[in-house]
Structure 1
Amino acid sequence: MTAAPPRVRPALAFFDVDETVIAEKSPLAFWRYWRDRHPGRVAADLPDLAAEAAVAPDREALNRRYYRRYAGVPLEELEAAGRGWYEEYRRGAEAFVLPALAAVAEHRAAGRAVVLVSGSMRPLLAVLAEELGASVLVCTELLVDAAGVLSGEVRRPMIGRAKAEAAVRLMREHGADPADCFAYGDHESDLALLRAVGRPVVVGGSPLLNEHAGRLGWPVIPAGRGPLEAEHA
């Protein structure tokens, strides 16, 4: 009697997006696009985003404040603008973090599910996730009313512990052993996500993450920028 082959457990590869996979913070880049093309949707008394960051250094609070800028906008309108922004952004000569793009391709080739985990919003990231072949997109979800209009509030900012909790949930749902799973992040707010898996990878030069990497033996990859075509050529 032939023994059944051992069951191969799945492994997931989690990627933060902003400044890990793409070279900019997508909410800030998109805000410039939105402000220039939809001036009628932008309140005249809105503070500068940098000024808001100074007022609300807590990243979850800043995340919520940012999305309140879109209160009253139909979701369909924001989704259309998000697609337009990404189509323009993706053509940039330094739009992507090339070592991270290479890692995405390597994980897909190895049969691992790629999961994008971001504090940014689905209207900006859905096309990116599709283009990169990501299996799952976990992000900050916008709340809408019955007519499909944004309230300005979000379900939960996908930042810090929220990323780690989402990763743990997905690993459990897929029957994946955390020891076999990967995570990539560039900022100290990604530390909980990196700790949630057995194979964390630091992207770029964050002093805190690099200190952890040096102490715990985590690999570090550079945040070198380049065009999408460089990895798809």
Structure 2
Amino acid sequence: MSDAARPYLVFSDVDETLITVKSMFDFLHYQLVRRHGAAGEEEYERITAVIRRRAADGTPRADINRFYYGHYTGESVEAIGRLADDWFTERTVSTRGFYIDSTREALAAHRAAGAGLVLVSGSFPSLLEPLAREVGADAILCTRPLVADGRYTGEVETPVIGEGKRAAVLRQLESRPDIDPRDCWAYGDHVSDLPMLELVGHPVAVGDDAELRERLADRALGVRA
């Protein structure tokens, strides 16, 4: 890993990079079924069918992200937070394979070496904060739903996806002039993580996204040339 004498940051995507599930959808299913039973299952299937159609039609991922958060309009932030804590506890206690072990072990090794760990995700704080505590993350860069009077409005600030991830990571790096981005690491599983991965000297592809691995290999060759 990086020279122990030089401070560095490690940026990690979350869904299918650090954990095996897509947190937003796993939680959506969890809370709908827990609160509404069979009707919640039907609602989840309806929502995800719309999302699949939009994705197939080429709808940008940031717009799909906004569509997702629209389903929390009027929900109590406190109530969703309690459900999120229950979701995280159930998944980590009763679900085998919740974490991608190779990534979690790598992040733990970075932490032991003194690196600062930053989680980067299109998911939202209620789902990410318990995870950050568990893995010892120092910061979370994520999509933040807007709140008014303790309830979600259904709107979000800039989704932290694709170029949104790049912008968030870039701001984090710019806030740390003592750190050289070439010493930093980043982990991602999808080609949409590439804008973030390209900002650091040590990008790591998790999983089998062939396009991501090919793009990172081409980048490495270009750097060596």
TM-score tier, shorter chain, comes to: 0.7 to 0.9
Aligned partner letter, 1:53: R
The answer to whether 1:138 aligns with 2:141 is yes
Aligned to 2:183: 180
**Once the 2 structures are TM-superposed, how far is the Cα of residue 188 of structure 1 from its aligned partner?**
1.1
What residue number does 2:215 align with? Answer: 212
Moved over 4 A (4+): none
Equivalents in 2 of 1:167, 1:52: separation in Å? 27
Does the CA contact (< 8 Å) of 1:53 and 1:62 recur in 2? Answer: no
| Residue 33 (structure 2) aligns with | 36
- Partner Cα separation in structure 2 for residue 132 and residue 184 of structure 1: 15
For residue 48 of structure 1, report the CA deviation from its aligned partner.
Answer: 3.0
Equivalents in 2 of 1:172, 1:188: separation in Å? 24
Q: Distance in 1 between matches of 2:158 and 2:79?
A: 22
Task: State the one-letter code of the partner of 2:64.
Answer: L
2:19 aligned residue: 22
The one of 7, 11, 23 aligned to 1:10:
7
Structure 1: which 5+ runs fail to align?
Answer: 1-7, 219-233
Q: How many residues are paired up?
A: 210
| Aligned twin of 2:79 | 77
Give the superposition deviation at 1:182.
0.5
Counterpart contact for 1:12–1:115, Cα < 8 Å: yes
The CA deviation at 1:55 is 1.7
1:63 pairs with 2:65 = yes
For 1:83 and 1:149, the matched residues in 2 are separated by 17
- SS state of the match for residue 200, structure 1? strand
Runs of at least 5 residues in structure 2 that lack an aligned partner in the other structure: none
Q: Percent identity?
A: 40
Q: 1:113 aligns with which of 108, 111, 116?
A: 116
Assess, with a 3 A threshold, how the Cα gap between structure 1 residues 75 and 11 changes in structure 2: closer, same or farther. same
How far the C-alpha of 1:9 sits from its partner, in A, is 4.3
The alignment's TM-score, normalised by the length of structure 1, stands at 0.85
In 1, distance between residues paired with 2:47 and 2:175?
A: 41
Moved more, 103-112 or 90-99: 90-99
Aligned AA for 1:48?
I
CA–CA distance in structure 1, aligned partners of residues 79 and 43 of structure 2: 22
Task: Note the alpha carbon deviations across 1:70-104, whole angstroms, 9 max, x for none.
Answer: 10101001111110100011121111111100111
Any idea what SS the aligned residue of 2:159 has? coil
SS in 1 for 2:118: strand
How large is the RMSD of aligned CA atoms in angstroms? 2.0
2:32–2:43 CA contact under 8 A, matched in 1: no
Cα contact 1:186–1:205 (8 A) shared by 2: yes
